[in-house]
Every structure is written in C-alpha cells, then in structure tokens.
Structure 1
C-alpha cells in the first residue's frame, strides 16, 4: 500500500535571535562577544511513513518540533534537509482561525475560507446551513467576524474545515479550545470522519485524546524521533522520561 505521508531524513533549520541588535557596550566596550551559531534545528534526521487510514499521535514537550512537523506535512514550511511527500489532499486544523477577515461577515468568511480550501460555490451553497448549524451561531451569520467571541470564532472555523473532503486530517491542539459541549461535538465529528477512512495526524498534549483517537504514536525529543510505535508504548515512554 502506498503511504499517504512519506518523510525521509527530514530536517528544518531556523535562525536564532533573528533581528537581535548588539548593544553599545558590545560594540565599544573593548571586549569581543563570543560568537554563537545563529542556526538551530528543531527537527533533524526524522523518517517515518503513514499509511492510508492510520491515526497518528505526535507527542513531546513544548519546543520539540511537533507543530513544526505538522506545518511541514501541511506544506506551510519547506524542509532544509530530506523530503516530505504527501500523496493526498489535507484538511488542516492548524491555527484554524487564520485567514478569516475581521471586517467581513460570518457568511462572507465561510465562502472565502471554504473557497480558499478548494470548495466550489455550489458545494458551499449546499453545505452552508450545515456549517452554521454545527457552529451554533445562526443568529450571527451576518455579523462582522470581529464581533464574535474567541469561542465562536473557533466553532465556525472548525465547522468549515470539517466539511472538507480531503483524505488527511492535520490537527494541532485545536480541540483544547472551546466549551466542553462543543469539544465533545468535535470529537464525535472526528470519529465520524475516521470511521469513513480518513487518515489522522494529530499533535496534542492531551493523553486522553491521544489514546482515544490514535493507534500509533511518534515521540519527538531534542529535534529527533525517539520512538515510532503503538500509542500506548509511546505515551508510556514519554511519561517515564518526563512524568505524566
């Protein structure tokens, strides 16, 4: 079976202290500041494959490259070493309120955002009521987006992305936002999508969610892939290393 995500020798390099200025003392104080490398590698030498229909959870401490990996898979970032090959379309639940325009109404934002993700106007027309009903903001359809609460913004954004028919779901902590009732609604929607054969690539710190949705895990630490295995084994090792 052909992998939907094929990552080989992946590395990405960022600049440290970009834009930092030397102080007056550094320049004229008579001492030379010790040189420090400007580059650091949040990920390096990472290799794995994801088969169609798999549910993968990505775990690790903050700053260990989890969200960076997700953005590389999504195509938002490009690698400096190795390769990322994604053979199917992706539905990115990553910073999902990005791209919404404050001064446009909710209605206009739905058409704009869904269109940017590849849905046609006729598809959006057919699903518009379902998107609004799922988000539970029917009274605010013609309200400027900027007047919505943060929770309402997440609800409408999730509702739009959940309508995409792309085979691969990329999810980054988005389920941590919103009230408990809506989170459960999102969980049920994700389970429905997974039952339909979707592939899930899920970054989270929530162990309960990881065990609920994922059968396999990737444990990232110090820029490398420590363990690729069953989600229970991955979480057990992570908890052993850093505590539950």
Structure 2
C-alpha cells in the first residue's frame, strides 16, 4: 500500500428531497406541485483513503452509505464540502445503475469502458476476457433489460474488475449471484488486494469486509461514527446492533 492519497472526502454533506409522504391525490389538489421535505442523507463526513487501500463502509439501512458512494462516483455533487479523487478514474459497481437497458451486454461493456476513460481499442482488447468472466454466454448479445439481478451483477462486476480504473466502488454486488460466481468474485478481489487498486466496499456482510478490508468506515444516520482497523470497527458496530 502506498502513502499516496487516492481519495479525500472533506466535510461532505448530501441532501435529498423526500416526497414519499405526499399522496398523488393530495398533490393534485395542491396544483400538482407536491411539497417536499429536505432530508440530510450524509452529514459532515470526512476521511481519506490511500492508494491501494481497501476500505469497507458499514451502517444500517438508510444510513447514507450508497448516497456517499454515488457522490464519490460523481453521479451527484455534495451540497456541502468536497470530494477529491486526485485525478484518479473511478468506477461504480452497483445493481440498477450504469447500464442502458435497451443496449446489449456487449454494447454496454463498450460504452461503460469509454465512460470510465478507457480507449475504444483498449475496451475491445479486453472484451473477450470480460465476457468470459461474466459467464453470460449468449445473453451477452441480448438487451440488459432482460437480465436478472444476478446476471446484471455479473456483468457489472466483470466490467469494473477487469478494466483498470484507479478507484473501484462496490455497492453490495458481491452478495448477489450464484455461489460459484461469488467465490469467483472473491478470488478476483483477493487478486486486486495485491495490486495498487483502491477499493471501497459497501456491504452488510461483515464477514466479507473482515476478509478483504484494511479499514472500515462506520456511518450511522448519515453521521460519521468511526474509521479504523477492520476488526476494531466491526466489533463496535456489531455490538451497537445488539442494543
């Protein structure tokens, strides 16, 4: 692991508008413009990740883990604070994001790779390796909207793991798919641990984080709780879930 900083989150806060409490009928009575409530999903979170480090992120459902990851990926900007990836290319591996459902798996590999900053020729060169790793067979030439969640996760993992981005963000994808592919994914993650790839993993499977991560970040209701050695943070987090 290098001492070079790959990612900096500096006092990051992220809001979203919640209109879930507003019924359609009530909205229509008010002229079709529902009133929304501003909810702070992530509140004043700061941390740094070194190049080559693997960091897990834990927290209860709704604690802001996925929101933070998507902001690091550049899908949306923080409302306060800033995120600096120090010129590194970032890829996000998550169910339901990143692919065009009307395009085939093969077409999505090419487009995703180019969006990650890879050249057309480089993606074409790695295409067969990605397809073979995904185990999708003939489905690779069918629209992604016809894929199951397991097939989607296989394609997502294969693209992100094999194309050489500097920072890889993993959002629960390792827990999806058949047992054979999960073991294959774990083996690939172990390979990445020996490289300079920086990885952030969101997962409720603390045994997975314990296996792969150098450190763990704990977020609770959008608040920074702690970041530190994996075993230490997971022990405190697991104890908190029993209260």
User: How far is 1:203 from its partner?
Assistant: 0.7
User: How far is 1:76 from its partner?
Assistant: 1.2
Please, what TM-score do these two structures have when normalized by structure 2? 0.86
Partner SS for 2:11: strand
Contact 1:42 1:222 in 2 (8 A): yes
Q: What CA distance in whole angstroms lies between the structure 2 residues aligned with 1:13 and 1:105?
A: 34
For 1:114, the equivalent position in structure 2 comes to 113
Q: What CA distance in whole angstroms lies between the structure 2 residues aligned with 1:159 and 1:15?
A: 34
Partner SS for 2:141: coil
Question: Are residues 146 and 47 of structure 1, via their aligned partners in 2, closer, same or farther at CA, if it must alter by over 3 Å?
Answer: closer
Q: What CA distance in whole angstroms lies between the structure 2 residues aligned with 1:80 and 1:226?
A: 20
Is 1:221 aligned with 2:220? Answer: yes
For 1:30, the equivalent position in structure 2 comes to none
Q: What CA distance in whole angstroms lies between the structure 2 residues aligned with 1:59 and 1:110?
A: 29
For 2:98, the equivalent position in structure 1 comes to 98
Q: What CA distance in whole angstroms lies between the structure 2 residues aligned with 1:94 and 1:171?
A: 6
Question: Are residues 155 and 7 of structure 1, via their aligned partners in 2, closer, same or farther at CA, if it must alter by over 3 Å?
Answer: same
User: How far is 1:23 from its partner?
Assistant: 4.2
For 2:7, the equivalent position in structure 1 comes to 5
Q: Which runs of 5+ in 2 are unaligned?
A: none
Contact 1:132 1:138 in 2 (8 A): yes
Is 1:169 aligned with 2:168? Answer: yes
Contact 1:96 1:157 in 2 (8 A): no
For 2:177, the equivalent position in structure 1 comes to 178
Which range moves more in the overlay, 82-91 or 149-158? Answer: 149-158
User: How far is 1:19 from its partner?
Assistant: 8.2
Question: Are residues 10 and 150 of structure 1, via their aligned partners in 2, closer, same or farther at CA, if it must alter by over 3 Å?
Answer: closer
Which range moves more in the overlay, 110-119 or 7-16? Answer: 110-119
For 2:68, the equivalent position in structure 1 comes to 69
Contact 2:210 2:230 in 1 (8 A): yes
User: How far is 1:65 from its partner?
Assistant: 0.7
Is 1:207 aligned with 2:216? Answer: no
For 1:82, the equivalent position in structure 2 comes to 81
User: How far is 1:214 from its partner?
Assistant: 0.4
Tell me which stretches of 4 or more aligned residues in structure 1 moved more than 6 Å.
none
Contact 2:94 2:156 in 1 (8 A): no
Contact 1:97 1:157 in 2 (8 A): no
Partner SS for 1:155: helix
Q: What CA distance in whole angstroms lies between the structure 2 residues aligned with 1:134 and 1:169?
A: 17
Question: Number of matched residues?
Answer: 234
User: How far is 1:150 from its partner?
Assistant: 3.4
Deviation sequence 1:50-81 (CA, Å, 0-9, x none):
11111111111001111111112111121111
Structure 1 vs Structure 2 CA RMSD: 2.5
